[in-house]
Amino acid sequence: MSTLLKVENVTIQFGGLVALNDVSFSIEKGSVLAVIGPNGAGKSTLFNVVTGVYKPTSGRVTFDGTEITGRPSYEVVERGIARTFQSSRLFSDLSVLDNVIIGMHTRTRTGVLTALFRPGVARREMDECVRKAESLLKLGSGDLFEQRYRPAGTLAQADRRRLEIARALASQPKLLLLDEPSVGMDETETDALVSDIIRLRKENPDLSVILIEHDMRVVDAFPQHVMCIDYGSRIAEGDYATVRADPRVQEAYLGKAAVHA
């Protein structure tokens, strides 16, 4: 198997604050990496560096054989990295369906001239988008398809997370970055989320997923490759059992005193 994403010695500073300190890791095609760590450890910052929201102070990000360090977000998405946000960022005044269609932006071509002078071409492309979006909405758990004409802002929390994932998948990514997908879900919904991800991988064996998670229930479901970050540094990496047993990880989560007690 080949390496899909490679992050090498990435450091990012905001003024005096070192948000990420010399972080390196890589992910293979078709695998899942779970990133854990306490709040404020730099997990979301890592996503922002990979997707081009932040430009790292130093270090390199290589995706699918091309260096993408500091490339603009729209180019990164075009290359095949899609993400969801920790605090779900849906287009709340647009319908569920429109949210997913917007996710296909990089896979559609209609420009101003086509839209104005070749409306037939533009409409066919849009019809195709609608069809694909509807099938994406039918795919996941929950009943997003039935709610497709609701404004996204009125969805329940679990549905918002599901819609974020559907929107991210709409761009046909090679790498999917999920930022705490289980936030606001109860146990049943979390289990449904886990089986959604498992099914997704079965259907697209080449799809790689990086998960930021606090819910160990989810991490436990993808135990092969886990990385722990604390204070911007990678402190442990390996399978779930190894990382969980690592004293530094326990320290990061429970505090020094608790571990040595």
Partner 1 sequence: MRQDIASSASPGKSAAVAFTVASQLVGAVFLYLILKADGGLQIVGLLALLGLGFFILEKQPWIAEQAMASFARVPLVSMITAGIIVVGFPFIVGSNTYILHLLIVAQLYAVLALALNFQLGSANIPNFATGASYGIGAYVSALLAINFGLSFWLTLPVAALAATLFGFIIGIPSMRTRDTYLALVTIAFGVVVQQLLNNFEWTGGPNGLVGIPAPSLFGHSFADPLVVFGWRLPSQANFYYLSAALVVVAIITAHRLHSSRIGLAWNALRADEIAAKAQGINVAWYKVLAFAVDAFLAAFAGTIYAFYVSYISPDNFTFLVSVTIMTMVIVGGMDNIFGVIVGAFLLTILPEKLRAFSDYRLLFFGVVIIGFLMIRPQGLFPQRMRRYGGE
Binding to partner 1, residues 108-127 (CB under 8 A): 108, 110-112, 114-116, 119, 122-123, 125-127
What tokens were used for 61? 């990000």
CA nearest 234: which of 23, 35, 18? 23
Answer for the pair 34, 225: CB distance below 8 angstroms, yes or no.
yes
E strand segments, the chain: 3-14, 17-28, 32-36, 58-63, 66-67, 81-83, 175-179, 208-212, 226-230, 233-238
User: What number of CA atoms fall less than 13 Å from residue 76's CA on the CB side?
Assistant: 27
Span from 92-100, 191-199, 226-234, 247-255 in contact with partner 1 (CB under 8 A): 92-100
Determine if 95 is a binding residue for partner 1 (CB under 8 A). yes
Give, as ranges, the residues between 30 and 89 that touch partner 1 (CB under 8 A): 51, 53, 72-74, 77-78, 82-83, 85, 89
Question: What are 206's two structure tokens?
Answer: 């080449």
Closest approach of partner 1 to the CB of residue 22, in Å: 26
Q: Minimum distance from CB of 214 to partner 1 (Å)?
A: 21
CA distance linking residue 254 with residue 94, whole number of Å: 42
- Residue window 177-216: x/- pattern of binding to partner 1, with contact defined by CB under 8 A: ----------------------------------------
Q: State the minimum distance, in angstroms, from the CB of residue 43 to partner 1.
A: 16
Find the binder of partner 1 among 32, 46, 68, 97 (CB under 8 A): 97
